Amino acid sequence: MSIRHVLSFGGGVNSVALMVVLLREELPFDEAVFADTGGEVPETYQYLETARQYLADHEIPLTVVSKRGRSLYETAWDRRVFPSAIWRWSTRDFKITPIQRHYRSLDVHINQYLAIAWDEVHRMKDSRVDYVTNLYPLIDRRLTRVDCVNIIQEAGLPTPQRSSCFFCPFNSVDRWRWLYETHPDLFDKAIALEENSKHFPSQRLTDQAFRERTDISLRSLAEVFADGGPLPALPAVEQQPCGAECGT
Ligand code: SF4
Looking at residue 232, its pLDDT comes to: 67
Nearest CA to ligand 1 atom 2: 168
Looking at residue 14, its pLDDT comes to: 96
Tell me how far the alpha carbon of residue 26 lies from the centroid of ligand 1, in angstroms: 31
In order along its 248 residues, the chain shows pLDDT tens digits of: 799 999 999 999 999 999 999 999 999 999 999 999 999 999 999 999 999 999 999 999 999 999 999 999 999 999 999 998 787 899 999 999 999 999 999 999 999 999 999 998 988 888 989 999 999 999 999 999 999 999 999 999 999 998 999 999 999 888 999 999 999 999 999 999 999 999 999 999 988 887 766 778 999 999 999 988 677 665 555 556 656 777 78
- Mutation probe of ligand 1 site: the residue of 95, 99, 197, 207 with most atoms within 8 A of C-beta: 95
Nearest CA to ligand 1 atom 8: 90
Tell me how far the alpha carbon of residue 104 lies from the centroid of ligand 1, in angstroms: 23
Looking at residue 123, its pLDDT comes to: 87
Tell me how far the alpha carbon of residue 143 lies from the centroid of ligand 1, in angstroms: 24
H-only helix segments in the chain: 13-24, 42-57, 72-79, 89-91, 97-106, 137-140, 145-154, 173-182, 184-196, 218-227
Nearest CA to ligand 1 atom 4: 165
Domain range summary for the chain, segments of one domain joined by +: 3-154
Nearest CA to ligand 1 atom 3: 168
Cα distances from 147 to residues 154, 169, 218, 240, in angstroms, run 10, 27, 33, 18
pLDDT digits (tens, 9 = 90+) for 1-27: 799 999 999 999 999 999 999 999 999
Q: Ligand 1, closest atom to CA 247?
A: 1
Tell me how far the alpha carbon of residue 85 lies from the centroid of ligand 1, in angstroms: 9
pTM, 2 dp: 0.93
List phi, psi (to 5°) of 132. -130, 135
CATH architecture of the domain with residue range 3-154: 3-Layer(aba) Sandwich (3.40)
Looking at residue 77, its pLDDT comes to: 98
Cα 92 to Cα 48: distance, rounded to the nearest angstrom: 21
SS3 3: strand
Tell me how far the alpha carbon of residue 66 lies from the centroid of ligand 1, in angstroms: 13
Looking at residue 175, its pLDDT comes to: 92
Q: Are 159 and 153 in contact (CB under 8 A)?
A: yes
